Structure 1
Protein backbone atom coordinates (compact mmCIF):
# COMPACT_ATOMS: atom_id res chain seq x y z
CA UNK A 1 0.00 0.00 0.00
CA UNK A 2 1.32 3.43 -0.92
CA UNK A 3 2.12 6.23 1.49
CA UNK A 4 3.40 9.79 1.44
CA UNK A 5 6.89 8.61 0.49
CA UNK A 6 5.66 7.08 -2.77
CA UNK A 7 2.32 8.60 -3.77
CA UNK A 8 3.76 11.99 -4.72
CA UNK A 9 7.25 11.11 -5.93
CA UNK A 10 6.31 10.92 -9.65
CA UNK A 11 8.97 8.21 -9.77
CA UNK A 12 7.60 6.50 -12.90
CA UNK A 13 8.53 9.54 -14.99
CA UNK A 14 11.75 11.09 -16.29
CA UNK A 15 10.45 14.64 -15.90
CA UNK A 16 8.83 15.71 -12.64
CA UNK A 17 7.44 18.95 -11.23
CA UNK A 18 7.17 20.26 -7.67
CA UNK A 19 6.97 23.45 -5.63
CA UNK A 20 9.18 25.27 -3.13
CA UNK A 21 11.86 24.23 -0.70
CA UNK A 22 10.11 21.02 0.35
CA UNK A 23 9.80 19.94 -3.26
CA UNK A 24 13.46 20.78 -3.89
CA UNK A 25 14.50 18.74 -0.86
CA UNK A 26 12.44 15.75 -1.99
CA UNK A 27 13.92 15.92 -5.48
CA UNK A 28 17.43 16.16 -4.08
CA UNK A 29 16.87 13.18 -1.80
CA UNK A 30 15.88 11.12 -4.86
CA UNK A 31 19.17 12.07 -6.51
CA UNK A 32 17.39 13.93 -9.32
CA UNK A 33 18.81 16.67 -11.47
CA UNK A 34 17.00 19.73 -10.10
CA UNK A 35 16.16 22.87 -12.07
CA UNK A 36 15.35 25.83 -9.83
CA UNK A 37 12.86 28.29 -11.37
CA UNK A 38 12.37 31.67 -9.68
CA UNK A 39 11.50 34.00 -12.55
CA UNK A 40 11.10 37.28 -10.66
CA UNK A 41 13.94 37.47 -10.08
CA UNK A 42 16.51 35.01 -8.73
CA UNK A 43 16.96 32.46 -11.51
CA UNK A 44 16.61 35.11 -14.22
CA UNK A 45 19.29 37.17 -12.48
CA UNK A 46 21.59 34.13 -12.22
CA UNK A 47 21.23 33.46 -15.95
CA UNK A 48 21.80 37.12 -16.83
CA UNK A 49 24.93 37.46 -14.69
CA UNK A 50 26.38 34.17 -15.95
CA UNK A 51 25.71 35.24 -19.55
CA UNK A 52 27.73 38.36 -18.80
CA UNK A 53 30.71 36.28 -17.71
CA UNK A 54 30.21 36.32 -13.95
CA UNK A 55 29.72 33.57 -11.40
CA UNK A 56 26.99 33.73 -8.77
CA UNK A 57 26.78 32.61 -5.15
CA UNK A 58 23.24 32.04 -3.85
CA UNK A 59 22.97 33.38 -0.32
CA UNK A 60 20.62 32.88 2.59
CA UNK A 61 17.82 35.40 2.23
CA UNK A 62 18.72 37.13 5.50
CA UNK A 63 22.23 37.91 4.26
CA UNK A 64 22.64 41.29 2.58
CA UNK A 65 23.54 40.78 -1.07
CA UNK A 66 23.34 42.24 -4.57
CA UNK A 67 19.99 41.16 -5.99
CA UNK A 68 19.89 43.65 -8.88
CA UNK A 69 19.16 42.41 -12.38
CA UNK A 70 18.75 45.53 -14.50
CA UNK A 71 19.12 49.23 -14.00
CA UNK A 72 15.77 51.05 -13.84
CA UNK A 73 16.62 52.97 -17.02
CA UNK A 74 17.12 49.91 -19.19
CA UNK A 75 14.55 49.96 -22.00
CA UNK A 76 16.22 47.50 -24.37
CA UNK A 77 17.48 44.48 -22.45
CA UNK A 78 20.49 42.64 -23.82
CA UNK A 79 22.27 39.46 -22.76
CA UNK A 80 24.63 41.61 -20.69
CA UNK A 81 22.62 43.46 -18.03
CA UNK A 82 23.46 47.19 -17.69
CA UNK A 83 24.67 46.62 -14.13
CA UNK A 84 27.38 44.35 -15.58
CA UNK A 85 28.03 45.99 -18.92
CA UNK A 86 29.00 49.34 -17.45
CA UNK A 87 32.51 48.58 -16.33
CA UNK A 88 31.80 45.54 -14.19
CA UNK A 89 32.73 42.76 -16.58
CA UNK A 90 33.95 39.34 -15.52
CA UNK A 91 34.02 38.93 -11.77
CA UNK A 92 36.96 37.45 -9.90
CA UNK A 93 34.62 37.01 -6.93
CA UNK A 94 31.10 35.58 -7.33
CA UNK A 95 28.18 37.96 -7.27
CA UNK A 96 26.14 37.27 -4.12
CA UNK A 97 22.41 36.89 -4.73
CA UNK A 98 20.11 36.54 -1.73
CA UNK A 99 16.57 35.28 -2.16
CA UNK A 100 13.94 33.86 0.19
CA UNK A 101 12.83 31.54 -2.61
CA UNK A 102 15.32 30.62 -5.34
CA UNK A 103 18.45 30.68 -3.20
CA UNK A 104 16.77 28.72 -0.43
CA UNK A 105 15.48 26.12 -2.90
CA UNK A 106 19.06 25.74 -4.16
CA UNK A 107 20.19 25.11 -0.61
CA UNK A 108 17.41 22.56 0.01
CA UNK A 109 18.25 20.62 -3.15
CA UNK A 110 21.99 20.72 -2.49
CA UNK A 111 21.93 19.63 1.14
CA UNK A 112 19.59 16.73 0.36
CA UNK A 113 21.87 15.26 -2.32
CA UNK A 114 20.72 16.40 -5.78
CA UNK A 115 22.62 14.93 -8.75
CA UNK A 116 22.98 18.43 -10.23
CA UNK A 117 21.32 21.83 -9.75
CA UNK A 118 20.62 24.33 -12.52
CA UNK A 119 19.04 27.79 -12.54
CA UNK A 120 16.27 27.85 -15.12
CA UNK A 121 14.09 30.70 -16.35
CA UNK A 122 12.12 31.77 -19.38
CA UNK A 123 15.24 33.50 -20.71
CA UNK A 124 17.26 30.25 -20.83
CA UNK A 125 14.68 27.45 -20.79
CA UNK A 126 15.97 25.59 -23.86
CA UNK A 127 19.63 25.84 -22.85
CA UNK A 128 19.06 24.59 -19.32
CA UNK A 129 16.81 21.78 -20.55
CA UNK A 130 19.54 20.63 -22.96
CA UNK A 131 22.17 20.64 -20.21
CA UNK A 132 19.91 18.71 -17.81
CA UNK A 133 18.95 16.18 -20.47
CA UNK A 134 22.63 15.46 -21.14
CA UNK A 135 23.04 14.08 -17.61
CA UNK A 136 20.57 11.26 -18.37
CA UNK A 137 19.01 11.25 -14.90
CA UNK A 138 15.46 12.05 -13.82
CA UNK A 139 14.81 15.80 -13.84
CA UNK A 140 12.64 17.64 -11.34
CA UNK A 141 11.68 21.20 -12.24
CA UNK A 142 10.97 23.28 -9.14
CA UNK A 143 8.69 26.29 -9.27
CA UNK A 144 9.97 28.16 -6.23
CA UNK A 145 6.88 30.25 -5.53
CA UNK A 146 6.82 33.27 -3.24
CA UNK A 147 6.27 33.82 0.47
CA UNK A 148 3.34 35.27 2.32
CA UNK A 149 4.22 37.51 5.30
CA UNK A 150 3.81 34.52 7.63
CA UNK A 151 6.41 32.56 5.64
CA UNK A 152 4.00 30.15 4.00
CA UNK A 153 4.31 29.32 0.31
CA UNK A 154 2.44 31.56 -2.14
CA UNK A 155 1.50 30.39 -5.63
CA UNK A 156 3.48 32.35 -8.24
CA UNK A 157 2.16 32.30 -11.81
CA UNK A 158 5.51 33.43 -13.22
CA UNK A 159 7.28 30.39 -11.75
CA UNK A 160 4.62 28.02 -13.08
CA UNK A 161 5.11 29.53 -16.55
CA UNK A 162 8.89 29.29 -16.29
CA UNK A 163 8.79 25.71 -15.09
CA UNK A 164 6.40 24.87 -17.92
CA UNK A 165 8.79 26.40 -20.44
CA UNK A 166 11.65 24.21 -19.20
CA UNK A 167 9.43 21.12 -19.22
CA UNK A 168 8.28 21.92 -22.76
CA UNK A 169 11.94 22.09 -23.82
CA UNK A 170 12.53 18.63 -22.29
CA UNK A 171 10.54 17.28 -25.20
CA UNK A 172 10.06 13.57 -25.84
CA UNK A 173 10.89 12.59 -22.25
CA UNK A 174 8.16 10.83 -20.24
CA UNK A 175 6.58 13.52 -18.05
CA UNK A 176 4.39 13.19 -14.99
CA UNK A 177 0.81 14.53 -15.04
CA UNK A 178 2.01 17.35 -12.78
CA UNK A 179 4.78 18.25 -15.24
CA UNK A 180 2.38 18.02 -18.19
CA UNK A 181 0.01 20.44 -16.47
CA UNK A 182 2.80 23.00 -15.99
CA UNK A 183 3.79 22.59 -19.63
CA UNK A 184 0.19 23.13 -20.75
CA UNK A 185 -0.06 26.38 -18.78
CA UNK A 186 3.11 27.65 -20.45
CA UNK A 187 2.02 26.65 -23.94
CA UNK A 188 -1.32 28.39 -23.47
CA UNK A 189 0.46 31.62 -22.49
CA UNK A 190 3.51 31.44 -24.76
CA UNK A 191 2.37 34.25 -27.08
CA UNK A 192 1.51 36.53 -24.15
CA UNK A 193 4.42 36.12 -21.74
CA UNK A 194 5.20 39.84 -21.24
CA UNK A 195 1.53 40.58 -20.52
CA UNK A 196 1.19 37.66 -18.11
CA UNK A 197 4.30 38.64 -16.17
CA UNK A 198 3.44 42.34 -16.08
CA UNK A 199 -0.09 41.72 -14.79
CA UNK A 200 0.48 38.90 -12.30
CA UNK A 201 0.92 39.70 -8.62
CA UNK A 202 4.71 39.50 -8.58
CA UNK A 203 4.97 41.64 -11.70
CA UNK A 204 2.75 44.31 -10.22
CA UNK A 205 4.88 44.28 -7.06
CA UNK A 206 8.08 44.88 -9.04
CA UNK A 207 6.47 47.61 -11.15
CA UNK A 208 5.42 49.39 -7.95
CA UNK A 209 9.06 49.13 -6.80
CA UNK A 210 10.34 50.74 -10.02
CA UNK A 211 11.61 47.45 -11.52
CA UNK A 212 9.38 47.15 -14.60
CA UNK A 213 12.47 46.69 -16.82
CA UNK A 214 13.29 43.53 -14.90
CA UNK A 215 9.87 42.08 -15.68
CA UNK A 216 10.29 42.79 -19.40
CA UNK A 217 13.72 41.16 -19.31
CA UNK A 218 12.42 38.07 -17.51
CA UNK A 219 9.72 37.56 -20.17
CA UNK A 220 12.23 37.13 -23.04
CA UNK A 221 11.87 33.46 -23.96
CA UNK A 222 15.17 31.70 -24.83
CA UNK A 223 17.02 35.00 -24.88
CA UNK A 224 20.16 33.49 -23.33
CA UNK A 225 22.14 30.38 -24.26
CA UNK A 226 23.52 29.64 -20.80
CA UNK A 227 22.82 26.83 -18.35
CA UNK A 228 24.01 27.99 -14.92
CA UNK A 229 25.01 24.98 -12.83
CA UNK A 230 25.67 25.01 -9.10
CA UNK A 231 29.04 23.50 -8.18
CA UNK A 232 30.51 23.86 -4.70
CA UNK A 233 28.00 26.57 -3.93
CA UNK A 234 28.69 28.69 -7.02
CA UNK A 235 26.73 29.03 -10.26
CA UNK A 236 28.76 29.08 -13.48
CA UNK A 237 27.96 28.27 -17.09
CA UNK A 238 27.65 24.57 -17.82
CA UNK A 239 27.30 24.78 -21.60
CA UNK A 240 29.33 22.60 -23.92
CA UNK A 241 29.16 22.97 -27.73
CA UNK A 242 26.58 20.15 -27.89
CA UNK A 243 24.35 21.98 -25.40
CA UNK A 244 24.10 25.26 -27.31
CA UNK A 245 20.84 26.33 -28.86
CA UNK A 246 21.04 25.71 -32.59
CA UNK A 247 20.01 28.73 -34.62
Structure 2
Protein backbone atom coordinates (compact mmCIF):
# COMPACT_ATOMS: atom_id res chain seq x y z
CA UNK A 1 0.00 0.00 0.00
CA UNK A 2 1.44 3.39 -0.98
CA UNK A 3 1.52 6.35 1.39
CA UNK A 4 -0.99 8.08 -0.89
CA UNK A 5 -3.79 6.15 0.85
CA UNK A 6 -2.90 7.50 4.30
CA UNK A 7 -4.80 10.81 3.90
CA UNK A 8 -1.61 12.71 4.74
CA UNK A 9 -1.91 16.35 5.68
CA UNK A 10 -5.09 15.83 7.69
CA UNK A 11 -5.44 15.58 11.44
CA UNK A 12 -8.66 13.53 11.27
CA UNK A 13 -9.08 10.64 8.85
CA UNK A 14 -11.72 8.06 7.95
CA UNK A 15 -11.66 4.53 6.59
CA UNK A 16 -13.49 1.21 6.80
CA UNK A 17 -12.91 -2.25 8.18
CA UNK A 18 -9.80 -4.19 9.19
CA UNK A 19 -7.82 -3.31 6.07
CA UNK A 20 -8.43 0.42 6.48
CA UNK A 21 -7.39 0.09 10.11
CA UNK A 22 -4.25 -1.81 9.19
CA UNK A 23 -3.19 0.91 6.77
CA UNK A 24 -4.05 3.97 8.88
CA UNK A 25 -3.13 2.71 12.34
CA UNK A 26 0.66 3.24 12.01
CA UNK A 27 0.07 6.82 10.83
CA UNK A 28 -2.17 8.01 13.68
CA UNK A 29 -2.02 8.41 17.44
CA UNK A 30 -5.63 7.42 18.09
CA UNK A 31 -8.25 5.14 16.54
CA UNK A 32 -11.97 5.54 17.09
CA UNK A 33 -13.68 2.24 16.27
CA UNK A 34 -17.37 2.46 15.33
CA UNK A 35 -19.55 -0.67 15.19
CA UNK A 36 -23.03 0.68 15.88
CA UNK A 37 -25.31 -2.35 15.88
CA UNK A 38 -23.05 -4.61 17.86
CA UNK A 39 -19.61 -4.19 19.36
CA UNK A 40 -19.05 -0.54 20.26
CA UNK A 41 -22.63 0.05 21.39
CA UNK A 42 -22.34 -3.08 23.54
CA UNK A 43 -19.02 -1.82 24.91
CA UNK A 44 -20.58 1.52 25.82
CA UNK A 45 -23.55 -0.12 27.55
CA UNK A 46 -21.27 -2.46 29.49
CA UNK A 47 -18.75 0.21 30.47
CA UNK A 48 -21.61 2.46 31.63
CA UNK A 49 -22.48 -0.24 34.16
CA UNK A 50 -18.88 -0.52 35.42
CA UNK A 51 -17.74 -3.57 33.42
CA UNK A 52 -14.22 -3.77 31.98
CA UNK A 53 -14.55 -5.08 28.40
CA UNK A 54 -11.74 -7.04 26.75
CA UNK A 55 -11.90 -7.17 22.92
CA UNK A 56 -11.05 -10.43 21.19
CA UNK A 57 -11.15 -11.31 17.50
CA UNK A 58 -12.92 -14.66 17.45
CA UNK A 59 -15.41 -16.61 19.52
CA UNK A 60 -13.65 -20.00 19.61
CA UNK A 61 -11.66 -22.17 22.01
CA UNK A 62 -8.91 -19.56 22.19
CA UNK A 63 -11.46 -16.95 23.33
CA UNK A 64 -12.49 -19.20 26.22
CA UNK A 65 -8.86 -19.66 27.21
CA UNK A 66 -8.30 -15.91 26.96
CA UNK A 67 -11.32 -15.23 29.20
CA UNK A 68 -9.92 -17.67 31.76
CA UNK A 69 -6.58 -15.85 31.74
CA UNK A 70 -8.33 -12.51 32.18
CA UNK A 71 -10.56 -13.92 34.96
CA UNK A 72 -13.50 -12.69 32.90
CA UNK A 73 -16.85 -13.92 31.65
CA UNK A 74 -17.01 -14.77 27.93
CA UNK A 75 -19.82 -13.29 25.84
CA UNK A 76 -21.55 -15.70 23.48
CA UNK A 77 -23.34 -15.19 20.18
CA UNK A 78 -26.68 -13.38 20.22
CA UNK A 79 -28.61 -16.59 19.57
CA UNK A 80 -26.65 -18.55 22.17
CA UNK A 81 -27.40 -16.28 25.13
CA UNK A 82 -29.35 -17.87 27.97
CA UNK A 83 -29.42 -18.28 31.72
CA UNK A 84 -26.04 -20.04 31.78
CA UNK A 85 -24.35 -17.40 29.57
CA UNK A 86 -26.47 -14.22 29.53
CA UNK A 87 -23.77 -11.93 28.04
CA UNK A 88 -23.63 -11.46 24.28
CA UNK A 89 -23.10 -8.84 21.55
CA UNK A 90 -26.72 -7.78 22.00
CA UNK A 91 -26.88 -4.42 23.84
CA UNK A 92 -30.28 -5.44 25.21
CA UNK A 93 -28.86 -8.68 26.60
CA UNK A 94 -25.93 -6.85 28.19
CA UNK A 95 -28.21 -4.26 29.76
CA UNK A 96 -30.40 -6.97 31.27
CA UNK A 97 -27.66 -9.47 32.21
CA UNK A 98 -26.27 -9.78 35.75
CA UNK A 99 -23.36 -7.46 36.46
CA UNK A 100 -19.91 -8.85 35.77
CA UNK A 101 -16.77 -6.82 36.48
CA UNK A 102 -14.82 -8.29 33.55
CA UNK A 103 -16.13 -9.42 30.16
CA UNK A 104 -14.47 -10.73 27.00
CA UNK A 105 -16.56 -9.59 24.03
CA UNK A 106 -15.44 -11.24 20.77
CA UNK A 107 -16.56 -10.24 17.29
CA UNK A 108 -15.01 -10.39 13.81
CA UNK A 109 -15.65 -6.69 13.20
CA UNK A 110 -15.30 -3.99 15.88
CA UNK A 111 -13.73 -6.27 18.47
CA UNK A 112 -11.19 -7.72 16.04
CA UNK A 113 -10.26 -4.22 14.86
CA UNK A 114 -9.84 -3.00 18.44
CA UNK A 115 -7.74 -5.99 19.47
CA UNK A 116 -5.40 -5.57 16.49
CA UNK A 117 -5.00 -1.80 16.62
CA UNK A 118 -1.36 -1.86 17.67
CA UNK A 119 0.16 1.07 19.51
CA UNK A 120 -2.60 3.60 18.93
CA UNK A 121 -4.97 4.79 21.63
CA UNK A 122 -8.29 3.05 20.90
CA UNK A 123 -11.71 4.56 21.64
CA UNK A 124 -15.13 2.93 21.21
CA UNK A 125 -17.51 5.31 19.44
CA UNK A 126 -21.14 4.84 18.46
CA UNK A 127 -24.33 6.84 18.02
CA UNK A 128 -24.85 6.83 21.79
CA UNK A 129 -21.71 8.89 22.52
CA UNK A 130 -20.39 10.87 19.49
CA UNK A 131 -20.47 14.29 21.16
CA UNK A 132 -18.68 12.94 24.24
CA UNK A 133 -16.07 11.26 22.04
CA UNK A 134 -15.56 14.40 19.95
CA UNK A 135 -15.07 16.52 23.07
CA UNK A 136 -12.64 13.99 24.56
CA UNK A 137 -10.60 13.88 21.35
CA UNK A 138 -10.41 17.67 21.18
CA UNK A 139 -9.52 17.94 24.86
CA UNK A 140 -6.56 15.63 24.29
CA UNK A 141 -5.54 17.40 21.06
CA UNK A 142 -6.42 14.44 18.82
CA UNK A 143 -7.36 15.51 15.33
CA UNK A 144 -4.34 17.78 14.95
CA UNK A 145 -1.39 17.16 12.65
CA UNK A 146 0.70 16.39 15.74
CA UNK A 147 -1.85 13.92 17.16
CA UNK A 148 -3.71 12.42 14.22
CA UNK A 149 -6.88 10.39 14.66
CA UNK A 150 -8.56 7.85 12.37
CA UNK A 151 -12.24 7.04 12.73
CA UNK A 152 -13.02 3.54 11.46
CA UNK A 153 -16.45 2.37 10.31
CA UNK A 154 -16.12 -1.31 11.15
CA UNK A 155 -18.78 -2.62 8.76
CA UNK A 156 -20.34 -6.06 8.65
CA UNK A 157 -19.63 -9.23 6.67
CA UNK A 158 -21.08 -10.73 3.52
CA UNK A 159 -21.64 -14.52 3.60
CA UNK A 160 -18.27 -15.01 1.85
CA UNK A 161 -16.50 -13.16 4.68
CA UNK A 162 -15.74 -9.98 2.72
CA UNK A 163 -16.45 -6.55 4.16
CA UNK A 164 -20.00 -5.22 3.84
CA UNK A 165 -19.97 -1.44 4.34
CA UNK A 166 -22.73 -0.62 6.81
CA UNK A 167 -24.82 2.55 6.72
CA UNK A 168 -25.08 2.74 10.51
CA UNK A 169 -21.29 2.67 10.92
CA UNK A 170 -20.83 5.41 8.32
CA UNK A 171 -23.33 7.55 10.20
CA UNK A 172 -21.76 6.76 13.57
CA UNK A 173 -18.28 7.60 12.30
CA UNK A 174 -19.63 10.75 10.69
CA UNK A 175 -21.26 11.76 13.97
CA UNK A 176 -17.92 11.48 15.79
CA UNK A 177 -16.10 13.44 13.08
CA UNK A 178 -18.80 16.13 12.99
CA UNK A 179 -18.55 16.51 16.77
CA UNK A 180 -14.76 16.73 16.59
CA UNK A 181 -14.95 19.36 13.85
CA UNK A 182 -17.32 21.47 15.97
CA UNK A 183 -14.79 21.34 18.79
CA UNK A 184 -11.64 21.87 16.75
CA UNK A 185 -12.54 22.87 13.20
CA UNK A 186 -10.26 20.41 11.41
CA UNK A 187 -8.26 19.63 9.42
CA UNK A 188 -10.42 16.71 8.26
CA UNK A 189 -9.37 14.67 5.26
CA UNK A 190 -11.80 14.66 2.31
CA UNK A 191 -12.86 11.15 3.36
CA UNK A 192 -13.49 12.26 6.95
CA UNK A 193 -15.26 15.46 5.88
CA UNK A 194 -17.56 13.46 3.60
CA UNK A 195 -18.42 11.02 6.41
CA UNK A 196 -19.25 13.98 8.67
CA UNK A 197 -21.35 15.54 5.91
CA UNK A 198 -23.28 12.27 5.46
CA UNK A 199 -24.27 12.36 9.12
CA UNK A 200 -25.14 16.05 9.10
CA UNK A 201 -27.17 15.75 5.89
CA UNK A 202 -29.24 12.78 7.09
CA UNK A 203 -32.54 14.30 8.26
CA UNK A 204 -33.48 11.41 10.52
CA UNK A 205 -30.59 9.18 11.56
CA UNK A 206 -32.81 6.88 13.61
CA UNK A 207 -35.16 6.33 10.67
CA UNK A 208 -32.25 5.66 8.31
CA UNK A 209 -30.68 3.05 10.57
CA UNK A 210 -34.06 1.50 11.38
CA UNK A 211 -34.82 1.06 7.68
CA UNK A 212 -31.33 -0.12 6.80
CA UNK A 213 -30.13 -3.58 5.84
CA UNK A 214 -28.38 -4.32 9.14
CA UNK A 215 -31.55 -3.64 11.13
CA UNK A 216 -33.47 -5.93 8.82
CA UNK A 217 -30.88 -8.61 9.54
CA UNK A 218 -31.35 -8.14 13.29
CA UNK A 219 -35.12 -8.14 12.88
CA UNK A 220 -35.06 -11.45 11.03
CA UNK A 221 -32.82 -12.85 13.77
CA UNK A 222 -35.23 -11.80 16.52
CA UNK A 223 -33.33 -8.79 17.95
CA UNK A 224 -35.40 -5.71 17.04
CA UNK A 225 -34.80 -3.91 20.34
CA UNK A 226 -31.03 -3.68 19.86
CA UNK A 227 -31.58 -0.92 17.29
CA UNK A 228 -33.53 1.17 19.79
CA UNK A 229 -30.61 1.21 22.21
CA UNK A 230 -28.03 1.74 19.47
CA UNK A 231 -29.79 4.77 17.96
CA UNK A 232 -30.30 6.80 21.15
CA UNK A 233 -28.19 9.67 19.87
CA UNK A 234 -25.90 11.18 22.52
CA UNK A 235 -27.60 9.23 25.31
CA UNK A 236 -24.23 8.58 26.96
CA UNK A 237 -21.34 10.71 28.18
CA UNK A 238 -19.11 7.65 28.61
CA UNK A 239 -15.99 7.45 26.42
CA UNK A 240 -14.62 3.89 26.55
CA UNK A 241 -10.83 3.84 26.04
CA UNK A 242 -8.76 0.68 25.68
CA UNK A 243 -6.50 0.66 28.74
CA UNK A 244 -4.31 -2.30 29.70
CA UNK A 245 -6.21 -4.50 27.29
CA UNK A 246 -9.74 -3.55 28.36
CA UNK A 247 -12.19 -0.77 27.61
CA UNK A 248 -12.79 1.43 30.65
CA UNK A 249 -14.25 4.94 31.04
CA UNK A 250 -11.89 7.73 30.02
CA UNK A 251 -10.66 9.90 32.84
Q: Give matches, 1:156-171, under 5 Å.
A: 156-171=166-181
Q: Give matches, 1:1-247, under 5 Å.
A: 4-63=1-60, 65=75, 66-71=88-93, 82-84=95-97, 88-89=98-99, 91-92=100-101, 94-110=102-118, 113-114=119-120, 116-136=121-141, 137-171=147-181, 172-189=185-202, 191-238=203-250, 240=251
SS in 2 for 1:100: coil
TM-score (norm 1): 0.83
Structure 2: distance between partners of 1:106 and 1:133? 21
Per-residue deviation, 1:178: 0.3
Gaps of 5+ in 1: 72-80, 241-247
Structure 2: distance between partners of 1:160 and 1:31? 20
Structure 1: distance between partners of 2:107 and 2:187? 32
1:118-158: CA deviations, max 9, x gaps?
Answer: 00001001111222223321110000111112111111111
1:36-83: CA deviations, max 9, x gaps?
Answer: 000011101101111111111112223362323104xxxxxxxxx641
Contact 2:45 2:95 in 1 (8 A): no
Gaps of 5+ in 2: 64-74, 76-87, 142-146
RMSD, aligned CA: 1.6
Structure 2: distance between partners of 1:132 and 1:119? 12
Contact 1:28 1:108 in 2 (8 A): no
Structure 2: distance between partners of 1:15 and 1:201? 28
Structure 1: distance between partners of 2:213 and 2:229? 17
Contact 1:59 1:96 in 2 (8 A): yes
TM-score (norm 2): 0.82
